Amino acid sequence: MSLPSIEQLNRASPSVFIEAVNTLFETAPPLADRLLAARPYPSYLALIDLAESVCLGSDLSEQDKLDIINAHPRIGENKTNLSVMSLKEQGYNTRQGAESEQDRQVNATLAQLNKEYEATYGFKFVIFVAGRPRSQIVPLIRQRIASNNKEQEMKTGMTDMMLIARDRLKKASSDSKL
């Protein structure tokens, strides 16, 4: 994954800016538009800090919050529906690689739990996987379904989105000089 330098990002056309932001946050127009309007940034970390303030603040409409959190793919999603970054984060090696029977079982369990979570809260389950196998996410999603606190779940999901963005930035920074 490569990102333009922060100087290039600050001068970039809106479409180039939004493409870079989508690399960090997935495609979430309500967030990308706000970040575009707030340029320039002294650093990518400052951009992510502002994104966190926007997402955890009170200025977003309920629909904007849903659009932002639902931009992330479901954990255990069919590999063909995942971005390159999400594939790596969810522990897949390639788009075409054969899944093991254990992978299929874990993904089937996650698919069912994703449905339960979305029925409970009305938005997607987002978690910073941080290299953990998908099988370790199963008990976590069950706990979060059981908590039955929609406001806290939205906050947790948005916070995890920022952890994901910081991790993606760290990986991009190791690939090039940002």
Interval 24-42 mean pLDDT: 97
CATH value at residue 99: 1.10.3330.10
Quick count: other Cβ atoms within 10 Å of Cβ 154?
21
Give yes or no for residue 5 having a pLDDT over 80. Answer: yes
Q: Report the residue count for the chain.
A: 178
Taking 70 as the threshold, does the pLDDT of residue 93 lie above it? no
Ordered DSSP codes for 35-97 = HHHT---S-HHHHHHHHHHHHHSS-S-HHHHHHHHTTSPPTT--GGGS-HHHHHHTT-S-SSP
Indicate whether 174 pLDDT > 90: no
Is residue 10 in some structural domain? yes
Lowest mean pLDDT among 9-23, 57-71, 83-97, 142-156: 83-97
17 occurs within a structural domain:
yes
DSSP letter for each residue of 103-158: HHHHHHHHHHHHHHHHHHHSS------TT--GGGHHHHHHHHHHH--HHHHHHHHH
In a domain, 1, yes or no: no
Amino acid identity at 98 = A
Greater confidence, 83 or 55?
Answer: 55
- Residue pLDDT, tens place only, 97-139: 566 788 889 999 999 999 999 999 999 999 999 889 999 999 9
Chain Cα centroid distance, residue 151: 18
Residue 88 lies in a domain: yes
Stretch 82-104: mean pLDDT: 60
Digit-coded pLDDT (tens) for 8-18: 999 999 999 99
pLDDT, position 122 = 97
Q: In the chain, how many domains are there?
A: 1
Task: Calculate the alpha carbon distances from 167 to 86, 91, 146 in Å.
Answer: 12, 15, 28
**For position 173, what pLDDT does the model report?**
86
Residue 81: per-residue pLDDT: 55
What share of the chain has pLDDT > 70, as a percent?
85
79, part of any domain: yes
**Domain span holding position 153:** 6-175
**Residue 95 reports pLDDT greater than 50:** no
Is the pLDDT assigned to residue 83 strictly greater than 80? no
